[in-house]
Amino acid sequence: MSYVPIDLDNAIRKECKRRRYSDKTADTYLFCIHGFLKHSRRTLDKISKKDVREYLEHLSEKGLSGNSMNTYHMAIRFLFEEVLNKRIWIDIHYSKVPQRIQKFLTKEEVRKLIANIGNWKHKLMVELMYSSGLRVSEMINLKVKDLVLDKGYGFVRNGKGGKDRLIVLAKIAIEKIRNLIGIESLGTEDYLFKTNRNKKYNQRTLQLIIKKAAKAACLDFKQIHQHTLRHSFATHLIENNYSVSDVQAMLGHKSPETSMIYVHSSGKMINVKSPLDG
């Protein structure tokens, strides 16, 4: 039995929070849902599967990519099934998004990038992102209590998809982290990295730090972003003969297929000998 919430936005955000979806996901869903409702011009209790199909066809005609179409589809299904408790099934298949080999840095390029960061705390943040395969959002949300420094590992809490995962800590970073905790007198509940105003860093700041360092290092800074460090971490693990399942665990991927792209990125396949040469 379906029902219509009085405050739709609040109902969607509450359900997203209950499922441990990120605020970004909730914002995306709300954007897609509002676009759908505006187009349909119907009240929630009058909307049907036909309205959904017509809207998705409208988006397809506008030339949206398969990835964007899937996002709209998921958002509308979330509205119907999770918020309105109304079952809906729309069997529409979208073209797959072409999978491209991810941009990554060589080990020497990573060294150059890090060497061109003057602020010691910013440098440690970038070192930690690369050495542990962290997303920017995961890095800025690290707390002192999430790290087990004497054993060389830590935890990402409530990462992408609301999942926790284990992360490795580079030996070279552990002593620097200890120094940071001591210098800033951080407690276990404190964020590991805080600004001069005693606030948590924001993602935009990290993006600018990486761009500035890449430009100073004479790297292709237009192609380098915060996720490039994560791609580089995964690619270098493959180059160091770690398995796809190891990479999958370190990055927190749902399936090994997602991690397989780093096998292609690493150049491992180039080292495979053609049977014709045998």
Selecting among 73, 122, 230, 231, the annotated active-site residue is 230
Is 160 assigned a catalytic role? yes
Is 230 assigned a catalytic role? yes
Is 171 assigned a catalytic role? no
Is 227 assigned a catalytic role? yes
Selecting among 122, 135, 231, 236, the annotated active-site residue is 135
Is 253 assigned a catalytic role? yes
By the 8 A CB rule, do 266 and 234 touch? no
Is 42 assigned a catalytic role? no
What would the DSSP string read from start to end of the chain? -----SSHHHHHHHHHHHTT--HHHHHHHHHHHHHHHHHH---GGG--HHHHHHHHHHHHHTT--HHHHHHHHHHHHHIIIIIS----------PPPPP-PPP---HHHHHHHHHT--SHHHHHHHHHHHHHT--HHHHHT-BGGGEEGGGTEEEE-S-GGG--EEEE--HHHHHHHHHHHHHTT--TTSBSSB-TTS-B--HHHHHHHHHHHHHHTTS-GGG--HHHHHHHHHHHHHHTT--HHHHHHHHT-SSHHHHHHHHHHHTGGGGSPPGGG-
Selecting among 160, 201, 231, 236, the annotated active-site residue is 160
Selecting among 227, 242, 264, 268, the annotated active-site residue is 227
Phi, psi of 10 (to 5 degrees): -65, -40
- What residues act catalytically? 135, 160, 227, 230, 253, 262
